Chains A and B, each alone.
Chain A
């Protein structure tokens, strides 16, 4: 299919609205993406036509709902090229998936073991590992980054040892847009028999990871950043780990047999999916994946790279503007500041002009500390953004600079 931006934009009802009297320019895609009509329709369709609880009814509606939900799981499996559908665990999102793994490892780790994370992490996702270390006596090690916002791989190699049990790195940094070399990170970790969890919250809207080829142990992501709804995500769990890890929460769905003396757990994926899940969310996640694939990841990448290059060049032409995250491997995220201008002020003026960007530390305070700044302005582009919108951003930044300095 040819990349028809007008046709694509027409799929997103929200892109027609105005903000503060200006047509909306939505450049906060790294926080959450907008939703196409196809995804919205799948949610409405479920509640209007076949809402029922799944996996437990013999009646037709329950069967239809179960089929649709399991069909979504298969779509996700195919999309990410997992070996089995039961390796795909539905979760409420990335954060939940990370906590599930951290919790699972609490019974596998002991004092003297080490967990490696990177300096580029979303800071809320460092917390589960800190808690895990407190509980088990394991130690947390950090892969440093350099001035460009790229991980220092030589330091990573030195951190790895037979004490390393788990490595946690994001595929793409939300604060800077850096694409981390996860292929190499996974391979090196496996050489010392450490497991690897990749946080794919930022990557799956831009690229299509091949989980078998990556040979990763765990991979987590959130649907809401890839045109799906909030409150649903996936945890990929390699089959062998499904047996080693204990269930996370107790409840319906995750059990095979219960007596007051003993409960036997259900097999994957249900072992990790206690309670009634977000059924409409799962189905809509599948619809989002279908939608992205009709556009095609090659086309998405090409368009987003064009936006990134065009915006980078135009922004750098503004005097006093500095971009953070300047490695060669990056996605369509531009984190920047203008000398003497507080990011909060910049964000406020851009909002008045109908331009939605994110300002602040982007839940990555260690990165802001590294650069010794209070935060940045972050513009993150999606495949439905246009060059004209980049022009609006650049004009807005210039206007704000004039007002603020």
Chain B
């Protein structure tokens, strides 16, 4: 599936819920399916510091596609990471570079991606894209 298709799929899934509590419970559930970063990779250089919750992000290039694994110490953050990874992982670098994150708004989780929220997610998206840029250069 393309990034756009996965985003549409997520919007579809989240449209089933009519209150925030159900959306959050679903997001927390999605967090449990997050492809976890290998504990060996949980090193300082893989750590994205938000002021309040920590995010670890690791990437590899497999068959010209970027594969991400990650983790967080907070489970709501973990849920959002799982959503982002589902969208961005296993995609060609170029698609990752060009993708936007507007779908987060559509699924009602916009507040988590505010640059002033201290959860490290905005930095994480930046980092996802930086990895993609680096792999893109490698492929050329």
Identify the A interface with B (CB < 8 A). 20, 342-345, 347-349, 352, 359-360, 374-375, 403-404
Residues of chain B within 8 A of A342, CB atoms compared: 53, 73-75
Residue of B nearest to A20 (CB): B20
Residue of B nearest to A351 (CB): B111
Residue from the list B20, B25, B77 in contact with A344, Cβ < 8 A: B77
Residue from the list A20, A344, A375, A403 in contact with B28, Cβ < 8 A: A403
| Cβ of A255 to closest chain B Cβ, rounded Å | 40
Assess whether A360 is in contact with B73, with CB atoms less than 8 Å apart: no
| Cβ of A357 to closest chain B Cβ, rounded Å | 13
Assess whether B74 is in contact with A344, with CB atoms less than 8 Å apart: yes
Residue from the list B20, B51, B73, B77 in contact with A352, Cβ < 8 A: B20
Residue from the list A20, A349, A374, A404 in contact with B73, Cβ < 8 A: A374
Residues of chain A within 8 A of B24, CB atoms compared: 349, 352, 403
Residues of chain A within 8 A of B91, CB atoms compared: none
Q: Is B37 located at the chain interface by the 8 A CB criterion?
A: no
Q: Is B118 located at the chain interface by the 8 A CB criterion?
A: yes
Residues of chain B within 8 A of A20, CB atoms compared: 20
Identify the B interface with A (CB < 8 A). 20-21, 24-25, 28, 51-54, 73-77, 118-119
Residue of B nearest to A375 (CB): B52
| Cβ of B104 to closest chain A Cβ, rounded Å | 15
Beyond known contacts A344-B77, A349-B76, A360-B118: 12 more, CB 8 A cutoff: A342-B53, A342-B73, A344-B52, A344-B74, A345-B74, A347-B52, A348-B76, A349-B24, A352-B20, A352-B21, A375-B52, A403-B25
| Cβ of B45 to closest chain A Cβ, rounded Å | 20
Known: A342-B75, A344-B76, A374-B73. A403 touches B52 (CB 8 A): no
| Cβ of B57 to closest chain A Cβ, rounded Å | 17
- In the complex the two chains form, what is the Cα distance from A349 to B51 in whole Å? 18
Known: A344-B76, A360-B118. A404 touches B28 (CB 8 A): yes
Residues of chain B within 8 A of A374, CB atoms compared: 52, 54, 73
Residues of chain A within 8 A of B54, CB atoms compared: 374
Residues of chain B within 8 A of A343, CB atoms compared: 52
Residues of chain A within 8 A of B21, CB atoms compared: 352, 403
Q: 21 A-B pairs, CB-CB below 8 angstroms?
A: A20-B20, A342-B75, A343-B52, A344-B52, A344-B74, A344-B76, A344-B77, A345-B74, A347-B52, A348-B76, A352-B21, A352-B24, A359-B52, A360-B51, A360-B52, A360-B118, A374-B54, A375-B52, A403-B21, A404-B28, A404-B75
